[in-house]
Each structure stands twice: as structure tokens, then as C-alpha cells.
Homo-oligomer: A and B are copies of this chain.
Amino acid sequence: VLEEGGAEWVDVARLPESEGGGVAAIRALLDGEHEGGLPYAPPILRLGRLVLAQTVAISELAADRLGLAPSSPEDRLLARQHGLTVADVVAETHDCHHPIAGSLYYEDQREESKRRAEHFRNERVPRFLGHFESVLERGGGTWLVGDDLCWADLHLFQLLEGLAYAFPRAFERSTEERPRLLALRERVRVRPRIDAYLRSERRLAFNEDGIFRHYPELDDPD
């Protein structure tokens, strides 16, 4: 959302500690060494004196400032609904590789992960993707809400990218009959600012320390 909106922003966690970044800077926010709201966990947006956590809250605020929120009150509510549903899928995806506890290594919950991932791939992914395909179909096929891209479309794009990375075989199977979702993914990917971002060093590639992890044993079998 920050990138598509053309914001100037800094990923503080990736700044050296000598420049006021790194883990110490995040720790200070979590410990409340600032005025304003207390975050539970990253991501955290700092904008002047405001300190705000929670992905959906951050994106909505950024979208308001950057012209990426719908204009009508009803459409703003629907964007929020869709953003929250995407967030639900993201949380379920995380728990595919951490069904028992975030504090344990994946290797210590691998058997439970295999069991959970099979249900996720076969029940949850098709149902969530089917839902968003229906939302697109109902609205004309291009964007989730109204006639223009909004922040919720960017969240859906990131979800599709993440699922395609983590579960390439299941994703291909589940999107065979979801042409509108695949078209949205391409439509977002080629936007000049998104394209430049994806090619930049600011974009962290998906990896096995993040939410979307590619463990072949959790994807469809060959």
C-alpha cells in the first residue's frame, strides 16, 4: 500500500542499529518507550507522533492518506471486510506450519503440520479463493470494491503471491477455474510502482522464516 501510494517510507527493522534501526528500535516500541499507543507486535507504523499496529489498521490509514481507499462510506466498509477476510487466510496459512505453537520449531510440529496443511489445501484454500472469485464476479470482475483498485486488492494480491509460493501445486489446482483472481494478480503485478517494488531490494523475498513458507511436504503430493 505504501509503495503503490508512492509514500516515502523506511523499514526501520532493516536499518543498522547505528542509524537507530534494527531489533533494538522495534523492542523500544514494544516496550512503550514512546508517547502514544502501545503495539502488541509488528508490523508497526510510525507516522509523526502516531504509533499504530495491526496490518489492516495500518493499511487503511495509509490508504486514506495515499488515495487508495474507496470514496463511498459503504465501499470503505466492504474494503475493510475483505481486508479482514484476507487477514484470516493469512493467519490460517501461518498455522499450517505452526499448528501447535509459534514458539516451537516447525520440525517439532511437522506431523501436525502435515495433517493441518492437507485440510487447509483441500478445504480452506478452495473455499476462500472461491469466495473472492465470487466477490470479483459480482462486482464486474476487475476489483474487489467498485471500479478502482483499493488497498484490499493489494492485500489479496499479496495473499495470492504467498499461497502460490507456499503451495505451488495446490495453488495451481485451486485457481484453475478462478480466472478473475488470476487476472487480478497479474493486473496488480504489472502496475509500475508495484513492479518496481517487486524488483527492488525493499521487497523481502518469500522465505522459510516468514508467514508463507514453502515446505514441499505440506503441498499437494506429486
Chain A residues within CB distance 8 Å of chain B? 32, 36-40, 50, 52-54, 56-57, 60-61, 74, 77-78, 80-81, 84-85, 88, 91, 95, 99-101, 103-104, 112, 115-116, 119-120, 123, 128, 131, 134-135, 138
Contact = CB atoms under 8 A, between A and B. Distances in A.
Chain A contact residues, majority secondary structure? helix
- Say how many copies of this protein the assembly contains: 2
21 contacts: A32-B134, A32-B138, A36-B74, A37-B74, A37-B135, A38-B131, A38-B138, A39-B81, A52-B78, A53-B81, A53-B85, A54-B80, A54-B84, A56-B84, A57-B77, A57-B80, A57-B81, A60-B80, A95-B95, A99-B112, A100-B115
A116 B108 CA distance: 12
A39 to B, nearest CB: 7
A33 to B, nearest CB: 12
Given A40-B128, A131-B40, A119 B103 contact: yes
Contacts of A88: 40, 91
A101 B85 contact: no
A7 to B, nearest CB: 17
Given A74-B50, A134-B38, A138-B38, A101 B119 contact: yes
